[in-house]
Amino acid sequence: MGFRVKTTARAKRDLDAILGWLLSENAGEAGLRWFRGLQDEIASLSHTPRRCMLAPENEVFDFEVRKLLYGKRPHVYRILFTIENETVTILHIRHGRRLPLSGR
């Protein structure tokens, strides 16, 4: 049985910002392939999302937060998400070098 993957408005803005940055940096076809890979990785959460470890943010929120890593250093992104029943909700997509969310 598959999970439904839903993206919050915040995560959609994150995706738009990442794509905008790639385009502004003239990343070309390689950048677009990387971005499609990011989208595919998010879609992969429809199968076995619990394979992903708990995120550091899990300790500061009153709900479970997991993370899926995408990319190679130094360009690793953390896809933060929750699982509720059969729905995976993408909360935020953050560059791996950024500090974890504080919950404030």
* Enclosing H/E stretch for 23: helix 9-24
Residue 79: Cβ-neighbour burial (10 angstroms; 0-12, 13-18, 19+):
buried
The pLDDT tens digits of the residues spanning 24-49 come to 999 899 999 999 999 999 999 999 99
Q: How would residue 75 be classed by pLDDT, with cut points 50, 70 and 90?
A: confident
Q: Which residue has the higher pLDDT, 104 or 23?
A: 23
Which domains are seen in the chain, by residue range?
4-95 (3.30.2310.20)
Work out the number of other CB atoms within 10 angstroms of the CB of residue 34.
17
Nearest to 5 by CA among 83, 93, 71: 83
